[in-house]
Amino acid sequence: MSRCTTLEISAKSVVMATGGYAANKEMVKEAFGFEGVNGGLGQNVGEGLKMAWEAGAKVPDNFGGQMLHQTLARATQGLKAQYEPFEASYPLMLTYLPNFMNVGTSGARFRDEAATLTSVAAANTSAFNGPYHMVIVSKSQLNSLQTKGMQGVHAPSLPGMPPEFYAGFADQFTLENPWTNVEKVFDSMVENGDGFKGNTIEELATNAGMDVDVFVENYNSYKEATKTGVDTEFSKATEYLESMGEEGPYYAIIAEINNLGSVGGLLVNTKFQVLNDKRTPVKGLFAVGLESEGVLFNDTYVGNGVAILLYLRSSWRGERGKQCFES
């Protein structure tokens, strides 16, 4: 039987560097609206922020910002138990390509899908729809993938996934490599509850919980754009308007947002002293890293190392740096 021991530690100064709260689903949901997928460290649960607030630190007015980066196919883990890594990654790879229709949970298209070519844009444009969006794939497109690989759907380049995502199938990760068993893999995705299928677009909308009228209108508009080469809604480049074909079945991949970490939670000055409600320093309390990023960068994505670097640069400035930790 484990026992928990509480230690009370006194110090002249304390530097808060506890990595935010992105691993605390309840806290993220309350602050941001939905939790997403935690792509950061599991121990970042917000205890440092709570201690600082109890010590008198102000909760920033912009509290709630998250560092969103990339989207992840919910199906991947389940498929890995059934298929080789390359096949298991079919849905994931399609979420990184601009050639497929993207819709929110209502069934409405919400962006130029070329945003998927940039990881930060992919996640942040998706976030307006909640914790996930859906990538629509037709039988015609699956057939092209089956025979010609990603070049069959005119992929402009390989999906911009992090190297660790395709390390297990790097030799197969080419544009021309045919996607064997592709329809079987997508059927397994649906059977596992990680995507949706419909023999018609109306059936797909119903099964995916979309508004049928909204999806049908958006689908028909997008399909017309693939025929004319002109996207009147989001001005998507003609070369990315891939034909949907004329027959089902149709699939919807669930693409979830990857959250690398929360942004901010404490106000700091240029000496990284934590500020109270009057915006004056809380004596002896300092914050660096994700805890301090919000005040320096608002809620704009930067990167975990940036806040650390800013502190180090300050510390390297001789006497000014030494003053950072004077109480």
Greater confidence (253 vs 290) lies with: 253
> Residues in the chain, how many?
327
Region 52-80: what's the mean pLDDT? 87
Report the C-alpha gap between 103 and 222 in whole angstroms. Answer: 11
Greater confidence (71 vs 109) lies with: 109
Q: Is the pLDDT of residue 299 over 90?
A: no
Q: Is the pLDDT of residue 307 over 80?
A: no
pLDDT at 321: 33
Report the C-alpha gap between 155 and 94 in whole angstroms. Answer: 9
Region 58-65: what's the mean pLDDT? 82
**Pair of tokens at residue 225:** 């754009």
pLDDT at 77: 94
Lowest mean pLDDT among 32-41, 114-123, 304-313: 304-313
Report the C-alpha gap between 209 and 252 in whole angstroms. Answer: 11
Report the C-alpha gap between 45 and 280 in whole angstroms. Answer: 26
Region 67-72: what's the mean pLDDT? 80
Element (H, E) at 218: helix 212-228
Confidence at 48, pLDDT banded by 50, 70, 90: confident
Instruction: Give percent of the chain above pLDDT 90.
Output: 55
Domain boundaries, the chain: 14-34+45-64+271-323, 68-259
Greater confidence (177 vs 45) lies with: 177
pLDDT at 218: 98
pLDDT at 293: 72
On average, the pLDDT of the chain sits at 85
Greater confidence (17 vs 171) lies with: 171
Helix (H, G, I), strand (E, B) or coil at 96: coil
Q: Is the pLDDT of residue 79 over 90?
A: yes
Burial (CB count <10 Å: 0-12, 13-18, 19+), residue 37: middle
pLDDT at 294: 59
Confidence at 45, pLDDT banded by 50, 70, 90: confident
- Any alpha helices (H) in 95-180, and if so which ranges? 119-126, 139-148, 163-166
Greater confidence (165 vs 28) lies with: 165
pLDDT at 322: 34
Helix (H, G, I), strand (E, B) or coil at 136: strand
Q: Is the pLDDT of residue 187 over 50?
A: yes
CATH of 68-259, one of 3.40.50.9100, 1.10.101.10, 3.40.50.720, 3.90.700.10: 3.90.700.10
Confidence at 310, pLDDT banded by 50, 70, 90: very low
Greater confidence (198 vs 61) lies with: 198
Number of other residues whose CB lies within 10 A of the CB of residue 47? 13
pLDDT at 145: 98
Confidence at 2, pLDDT banded by 50, 70, 90: low
Region 213-227: what's the mean pLDDT? 97
